Amino acid sequence: MDSLPLQAISTGAAALVVALILYFRVKSAPEGNPAMARIARFIREGAMAFLTREYKVLAIYAVVVAGLMVWQLGAIAAVAFVAGAFLSLLAGFFGMKSATFANVRTAEAARANGKPAALVLALDGGAVMGLCVAGLGLLGMGVIFAAFRAGEAFHKDFGTIIHAFAVGASSIALFARIGGGIYTKAADVGADIVGKVEANIPEDDPRNPGVIADNVGDNVGDIAGMGADIYESYVAAVVSAMALGLTIPVDKLKPLAPELGDTELRMAAVSLPLLLTTIGLAVSIVGIFITRTLKNMPPAMVLRIALILPPFLVVGAAAVILPMFKISMGAVATLAAGAVGGGVIGLVTDYYTSMGPIQKIAQSSITGPGTNVIRGLAVGLESCAIPLGTLCIVGWISNHFLGLYGIALAAVGMLAGTAIVMTVDAYGPIADNGGGIAEMSGLGKEVRDITDELDAVGNTTAAVGKGFAIGSAVLTVVALFAAFNMEVNHVRHLKGEKELQLILTESNVLMGLLFGAILPCVVGATTMTAVGRAAGAIVEEIRRQFREIPGLLEGKEGAEPQPKVIVDIATAAAIKEMILPGAVAVLAPVILGFGFGADVLAGALAGALAVGATLSLLMANGGGAWDNAKKFIEKGGLEGHKKGSDAHKAAVVGDTVGDPFKDTSGPGISILIKVMSVVSLLIAPLL
């Protein structure tokens, strides 16, 4: 595997080159009429304004943390941290740039050339993000790998360096996800409350000053936030596997490659995650091009193929390649378990957010919003069962073949298709934005029909993508948790201290478990109220504009809304509100670890994992189901209760509850448990 870092770096670079080509392809596509271009410019500028302000805050955070790291962990760790963070910002920046060019061009393509052309444009726009996320991630890890591997061994700080890299990725993801999530839902809810409810004008009506902010929100939340999140999952999964490969007792690694000697075996264990990720990215690049050739098939089919296929291709490729390095078929079985498990979770998510359960939610809307909400919550709770059960089975199989290291490998397998998952995820908001621009610039029903179809497909695939993301997050956290314990013991062993044994019936661990349960609740509560507060501020401003700008509501010539004011309010509110939950997530492990000890911290990680996994699944699936139940009624699925009926209004209530669930709090909690784990892993040697 001597050439592995080179292969990783070159595959990463290739992905970036492809991204660049697609970026220019997107940018060179026609932008449509001046009205469209103007709206698109507003959205782009709003999105970039948010990103710039967010990045300023994050820069301060990064400098402070890097300073602490220089002091406690050395300068190289600080550099790795900054690199992890910087690459995340870079991926978010390019992805959003591309998406905010692609949205308007998708609308124009739908108008001028029809559905297949629009599909390809939206996919290309998303692929830039997907390739940047995976390419930059792989590039970063490849460079670290190349720089700190010396022959048969690693630099003594290699562990700390990759942990710091992961902490950089994770903490940016945390803030970007929470900040973006608050922005997008506050703007959405705010624009809807005044527009749809009070002023009784349709969604995306150009008179509504909040509409631009709503469209900006799709970009900052579902593109930049989601991108940072997936970049983080990708990095964390690889790092957790590398960390375990580095610290797990070597005899426990034996099943991975029984023929190798100890030194070679450890090298193989640390290298394998990088190798698999390299294979995964190569497969994904091919997959993206295959997807483009399927453009004449129904979009729903195209996207499902794009999501489900790559993990299986990776397993196939691994079955051929791994034996060359004397790695056992157990590793392939583990990857297969991860891929199948991810597929099952995706399908279950699909079921809960688009089939029987949403009809039941729609049905219970007939008796009012109360029963709609109860049913949605019940669906959310129920939807946790099979995914968590599947993860238990995947964990059990992986552990059977390769021990805890296998669990980390399963997560790597589940995420092997990250570039394409992210492509499909970013595709959704691009199509959604395209539809919004079509509506605002009055492009007519045929265009809107195309963008609506593309958007609707994106909703379901977004749910499937979230299923993958949460599933891999849970496995990664399990692996990180084990790695944390190994790392603590590794260091204690060197110091000749007593090993840390995490015995579940010891009071410190149990109390930690209960304390850990608090953290997802706090992040959930603060993000949900943050959305409410930020939305309130937006509502006031939209009301003010309707009141004070003469002729705006009547749509008179020359009466222009002031969308930039709303964008500013949303930006300021989201950035202010992201600080508290973000600080909780980053500081909790530090305070618990240094204040109460490694055992309390470990218990807290376990408690946060159990509660966090449950709440984030509940929120993601419940939110998706509410959204689609509303759409089901709008499409006439509920006989005798069409759009505008009482049942539909009840379904809108459920959707309002589901919005912050699925796009703010749920993702926030899911990332919380990852951030806590990587931060714990990083500080482990100091405990």
Range 463-502, binding a copy of itself (CB under 8 A): 474, 478, 481-482, 485, 501-502
Phi and psi at residue 368, to the nearest 5°:
115, 170
Query: Considering only residues 532, 572, 634, 637, which one is a binding residue for a copy of itself as defined by CB under 8 A?
Result: 532
Of 234 and 515, CB closest to a copy of itself? 515
Contacts of residue 366, defined as CB under 8 A and 6 or more positions apart, other chains included, come to 638, 641, 646, 647, 650
Output the CA–CA distances (angstroms, integers) from residue 52 to 55, 56, 367, 567, in the order listed.
Answer: 5, 6, 46, 13
Output the CA–CA distances (angstroms, integers) from residue 133 to 16, 45, 137, 229, in the order listed.
Answer: 9, 22, 6, 10
Of 83 and 609, CB closest to a copy of itself? 609
Q: Give yes or no for residue 503 binding a copy of itself (CB under 8 A).
A: yes
Among the residue ranges 126-134, 383-391, 408-416, 574-582, the one whose residues contact a copy of itself (CB under 8 A)? 383-391
Q: Give yes or no for residue 507 binding a copy of itself (CB under 8 A).
A: yes
- Residue 231 · residue 169 · CB < 8 Å: yes
Query: Considering only residues 509, 552, 629, 675, which one is a binding residue for a copy of itself as defined by CB under 8 A?
Result: 509
Q: Give yes or no for residue 374 binding a copy of itself (CB under 8 A).
A: yes
What's the first-to-final CA gap in the chain, in angstroms? 34
> Helix axis angle, 115-148 relative to 4-28, nearest 10°?
150
Interface pattern 423-442 for a copy of itself (x via CB under 8 A): --------------------
Q: Which helix (H) or strand (E) holds 514?
A: helix 507-548
Of 258 and 370, CB closest to a copy of itself? 370
Interface pattern 404-423 for a copy of itself (x via CB under 8 A): x--x----------------
Which of 347, 344, 342 lies closest to 304, judged by CA?
A: 347
Q: Give yes or no for residue 378 binding a copy of itself (CB under 8 A).
A: yes
Residue numbers 617-636 binding a copy of itself by CB under 8 A: 618
Considering the complex, what minimum distance in angstroms separates the CB of residue 517 from a copy of itself? 5
- Residue 177 · residue 154 · CB < 8 Å: no
Which of 573, 665, 668, 664 lies closest to 232, judged by CA?
A: 668
Residue numbers 282-341 binding a copy of itself by CB under 8 A: none
Q: Site for a copy of itself (CB under 8 A): how many residues?
A: 77
Q: Give yes or no for residue 522 binding a copy of itself (CB under 8 A).
A: yes
Considering the complex, what minimum distance in angstroms separates the CB of residue 126 from a copy of itself? 30
Of 11 and 665, CB closest to a copy of itself? 665
* HEC-encoded secondary structure of 560-580: CCCHHHHHHHHHHHHHHHHHH
Considering the complex, what minimum distance in angstroms separates the CB of residue 308 from a copy of itself? 24
Considering the complex, what minimum distance in angstroms separates the CB of residue 25 from a copy of itself? 41
Q: Which helix (H) or strand (E) holds 632?
A: helix 598-634
Among the residue ranges 156-164, 208-216, 450-458, 656-664, the one whose residues contact a copy of itself (CB under 8 A)? 656-664
Of 368 and 637, CB closest to a copy of itself? 368
Q: Give yes or no for residue 85 binding a copy of itself (CB under 8 A).
A: no
Considering the complex, what minimum distance in angstroms separates the CB of residue 529 from a copy of itself? 5
Of 61 and 626, CB closest to a copy of itself? 626
Structure tokens at 432: 């959604």
Considering the complex, what minimum distance in angstroms separates the CB of residue 607 from a copy of itself? 5
Contacts of residue 372, defined as CB under 8 A and 6 or more positions apart, other chains included, come to 361, 364, 365, 626, 629, 650, 651, 653, 654
Q: How far apart are CA 601 and CA 650, in angstroms?
A: 43
Beta bridge mates, 149: 154
Q: Give yes or no for residue 516 binding a copy of itself (CB under 8 A).
A: yes
B/e letters for 323-361, b = 16+ CB within 10 Å, e = fewer, are eebebbebbbbbbbbbbbbbbbbbbbbbbbbbeebbbbb
Of 140 and 654, CB closest to a copy of itself? 654
Q: How far apart are CA 318 and CA 324, in angstroms?
A: 10
Q: How far apart are CA 240 and CA 581, in angstroms?
A: 24
Q: Give yes or no for residue 614 binding a copy of itself (CB under 8 A).
A: yes
Query: Considering only residues 656, 670, 677, 680, which one is a binding residue for a copy of itself as defined by CB under 8 A?
Result: 656
Query: Considering only residues 164, 281, 539, 588, which one is a binding residue for a copy of itself as defined by CB under 8 A?
Result: 539
Of 84 and 607, CB closest to a copy of itself? 607
Q: How far apart are CA 314 and CA 204, in angstroms?
A: 41
Of 194 and 285, CB closest to a copy of itself? 194
Q: Give yes or no for residue 373 binding a copy of itself (CB under 8 A).
A: yes
Structure tokens at 481: 């948790």
Q: Give yes or no for residue 583 binding a copy of itself (CB under 8 A).
A: no
Alpha carbons within 13 A on the beta-carbon side of 477:
27
- Residue 5 · residue 146 · CB < 8 Å: yes
Contacts of residue 452, defined as CB under 8 A and 6 or more positions apart, other chains included, come to 435
Residue numbers 19-78 binding a copy of itself by CB under 8 A: none
Q: How many CB atoms lie within 10 A of CB 202?
A: 10
**DSSP per-residue letters across 485-496:** HHHHHHHHHHHT
Residue numbers 253-272 binding a copy of itself by CB under 8 A: none
Considering the complex, what minimum distance in angstroms separates the CB of residue 611 from a copy of itself? 5
- Residue 204 · residue 211 · CB < 8 Å: yes
Q: Which helix (H) or strand (E) holds 149?
A: strand 149-150
Which of 609, 614, 606, 612 lies closest to 512, judged by CA?
A: 606
Considering the complex, what minimum distance in angstroms separates the CB of residue 71 from a copy of itself? 30
Of 128 and 391, CB closest to a copy of itself? 391
Residue numbers 585-604 binding a copy of itself by CB under 8 A: 602-603
Interface pattern 107-136 for a copy of itself (x via CB under 8 A): ------------------------------
Considering the complex, what minimum distance in angstroms separates the CB of residue 195 from a copy of itself? 13
Residue numbers 131-190 binding a copy of itself by CB under 8 A: 189
Considering the complex, what minimum distance in angstroms separates the CB of residue 598 from a copy of itself? 12
Of 420 and 509, CB closest to a copy of itself? 509
Among the residue ranges 36-44, 111-119, 393-401, 547-555, the one whose residues contact a copy of itself (CB under 8 A)? 393-401
